[in-house]
Amino acid sequence: MRFVQAYFGLPIAMVVICATVVPVFYRARVYTAYEYLENRFDAKTRSLASVIFLCQRGLSAGLTIYAPAIVLSVILGWPERATTMLMGMVVVTYTVIGGIKAVTWSDVQQMVVIVLGLLVALVTVIVMLPHAVSFGDAVYLAGAAGRLNAVTTNFNWNDRFNIWSGLIGSTFLFLSYFGCDQSQVQRYLTGRSLAESRIGLLCNAVAKIPMQFFILFIGAMVFVFYVFVEPPVLFQHTELQRIAQVSEYSGVETRYHEAFERRRDAALSLAEAHRAGDKAAHAHGLAEYRGAQQSLDAARTDAARLVEANGGEPGFSDTNYIFLSFVTRYLPAGLVGLVIAVIMAATMSASAGEINSLATVSVVDIYRRHFRRGASDHHYLLASRWATVFWGVYAVAFAGWGKKLGSLIVAVNVVGSLFYGSLLGCFVVAFAFKRVGGTAVFLGMLAGELAIFSVFLHGGISYLWFNVIGCVVVVGVSLALTWAAPGVFAKARVDERV
Amino acid sequence: TWRRVYWAVLVYLACVILAAYWFTRAYR
């Protein structure tokens, strides 16, 4: 539930973007964010921004391909390496032959089916709870297990989600995402009017936090469901099958089963004590419930270590499989198929669109400008197809690494944070410091990326802060260079229009 | 004309954070 704090910065970012960025882009009469950078600075700054965009989007495309690969792995029982390769080949093939539209539903239809699936999941959880456990009891039991900590006020650089990283770090993340990422900027630059663009952004700001809260709350309810219905030791079925043959596994399974039964009995007595207001029984039940939860977590950790020790990948985690396993096993049969079809359609069309845009930017912004000017249209079409294949391979290669960053939604944000900070710094300089020239901001962006990757590899600071660090370094280095050597780095002529 | 809209969004954010904080305290 703490992940909801990562969205606290969204409304702040949207207000700043509506008040400052959107009018500047409209006034500058540009159709892409990077076109604006070329007008404001120079071609090399635009090219560097394009390269940063390509690196970030290429990694994101890997995660987008990984999502349907997990679905296939759950349905078919195949190893996820095989399903990731299969999804990558399918996506690249139909992108190369130009069939993106074949798998595209409208966003509204997709959203309706997914929200319907989530609502049915919540109803299923509530209906399948034991008769002695009410919905109020279920919420209480989720809270007692620490699953409803929506807000944490302790400041810690290495803690991913607290109110400070949410209000400061995520404001910078969303400023970058909605202010500098072409996939988002194009949405409001092609709006019918400035007012319509602003309304769209502000509606997003208002709706996102309650929606995310609702999704995370369903996750907490699924946790309570599994307090009363014994879940598998690991939710990734293929890995569980593999370690089931190992001699140490039977001991882990026995401890897991005993811990589950202790937790279930403790939960029932805790809910009863909570309803009756019996303080002594409540304190005893709470200690027993939390102790059993720790034993259960320890057994699951031991099972994960067995996976790693028996040919599995280091850092094994089945986080991405928990909700999907619940959906495929307990939702009504017809709805499961519909929800999975929509997830596949949404993720496949998204990854096809991403790989297509990567190929386009590679050819238009990099290849045609710096490697091969003035060739025929047929030549650039062929180059675009080869670029599509390259980015497909790049995405599949990264998909396996991305899952180590955490759950899919967190991994997408981590990957974005590795690159967005320096892009944001570049745009802040462009908007706020008119005397700074292209070379200063170019060097600033390189310094910003160096700082972000140093922090990422060193550890100790969580990813939301990368956006702040990158932005501050770019602005600081650009201003310092301009101040130290204005003859070299300052703009000779300031154009107030950009 | 947009100033009031921006302030309304920021006040809404403050209310959401307070509600989430209350929710956390209530079910801890």
Q: Which residues contact A375 (CB under 8 A, 6 or more apart)?
A: A368
Q: Collect all residues of chain B within an 8 Å Cβ-Cβ radius of residue A149.
A: 24, 28
**Is it the case that residue A194 has pLDDT exceeding 90?**
no
Please say whether the beta carbons of A172 and A474 come within 8 A: no
pLDDT at position A472: 95
Q: Which of A140, A163, A205 sits opposite B27 (nearest CB)?
A: A140
Q: What is the pLDDT of residues A70-104, one digit of tens each?
A: 888 887 788 877 888 888 888 888 677 765 444 44
User: Can you give the pLDDT at residue A467?
Assistant: 92
DSSP calls for A376-416: -HHHHHHHHHHHHHHHHHHHHHHHHHHGGGSSHHHHHHHHH
pLDDT of residue A105: 45
Share of chain A above pLDDT 70, in %: 92
Q: B12, A151: Cβ pair inside 8 Å?
A: no
Nearest-by-CA chain B residue for A194? B2
pLDDT higher than threshold 90 for residue A452: yes
Q: What is the pLDDT of residue A224?
A: 92
CA atoms A220, A409, A392, A111: torsion sign: positive
Inter-residue contact A411 to A402 (CB < 8 Å) = yes
Reported as a pLDDT band with limits 50, 70 and 90, residue A180 is: confident
Distance CA A165, CA A458 (A): 19
pLDDT tens profile A133-164: 889 999 989 999 888 888 888 888 888 788 99
Task: Average the pLDDT over each of A7-21, A386-400, A419-433, A438-452 and give the range with the smallest value.
Answer: A386-400
A-chain residue closest to B2, CA distance: A19
- Of A414 and A373, the structure prediction assigns the larger pLDDT to A414
pLDDT score of A427 more than 60 = yes
Nearest CA in chain B to A151: B21
The crossing angle, in degrees rounded to 10, of helices A170-180 and A464-484 is 70
Q: Tens digits of per-residue pLDDT, A218-270?
A: 999 999 999 998 899 989 878 887 788 788 788 998 989 889 988 989 998 89
The pLDDT, as a whole number, for residue A192 is 63
Task: Note the helical H segments in A229-332.
Answer: 237-243, 249-276, 279-309, 322-330
CA-based nearest residue to A318, from A213, A241, A398, A227: A241
Put simply, the chain B residues between 1 and 28 with a CB less than 8 A from any chain A CB are 2, 5-6, 9-10, 12-13, 16-17, 20-21, 23-24, 26-28
Please write down the long-range contacts of A301-305, taking CB distance under 8 Å and 24 or more positions apart: A302/A252, A302/A255, A303/A233, A303/A234, A303/A240, A303/A243, A303/A249, A303/A252, A303/A256, A304/A234
The rounded mean pLDDT for chain A is: 84
Within 10 angstroms of residue A180's Cβ, the number of other Cβ atoms is 27
Give the model's pLDDT for residue A131.
75
Minimal CA separation from A172 to chain B, in Å: 16
Q: How far apart are CA A477 and CA A354, in angstroms?
A: 32
Question: A328 φ, ψ to 5°?
Answer: -70, -25
Comparison of pLDDT for A411 and A491, the residue scoring more: A411
Q: How far apart are CA A326 and CA A487, in angstroms?
A: 64
- The domains of chain A are located at 2-225+331-489, 237-317
Least Cα distance to A430 among A54, A25, A9, A15 occurs for: A25
Long-range contact list for A81-86, CB < 8 A, 24+ apart? A81/A400, A84/A396, A84/A399, A84/A400, A85/A396
For residue A109, what pLDDT band results from cuts at 50, 70 and 90?
A: low
Judge contact between A154 and B8, C-beta under 8 A.
no
In angstroms and rounded to an integer, the radius of gyration of the C-alpha atoms of chain B is 12
To the nearest whole angstrom, how far is the Cα of B6 from the nearest Cα of chain A?
Answer: 6
CA–CA distance, A358 with A365 (Å, rounded to integer): 10
CATH number of A2-225+331-489: 1.20.1730.10
**Tell me, what's the pLDDT at A78?**
81
Q: How confident is the model at residue A110 (pLDDT cuts 50, 70, 90)?
A: low
pLDDT of residue A494: 56
How far is the first Cα of chain B from the last one, in angstroms, to the nearest whole number?
42
How does DSSP classify residue A41? S
| pLDDT of A496 higher than 70 | no
Of A4, A19, A140, the CB nearest to B6: A19
pLDDT at B22 over 70: yes
Contact A202 B23 (CB under 8 A): no
Reduced to 3 states (helix: H, G, I; strand: E, B; else coil), residue A1 is coil
Confidence (pLDDT) at A217: 93
Cα–Cα distances in angstroms (integers) from residue A281 to residues A64, A104, A253, A303, A378, in the given order: 48, 56, 30, 33, 78
CA distance A475 to A361: 26
pLDDT, average across residues A298-307: 89
What per-residue confidence (pLDDT) applies to A475? 94
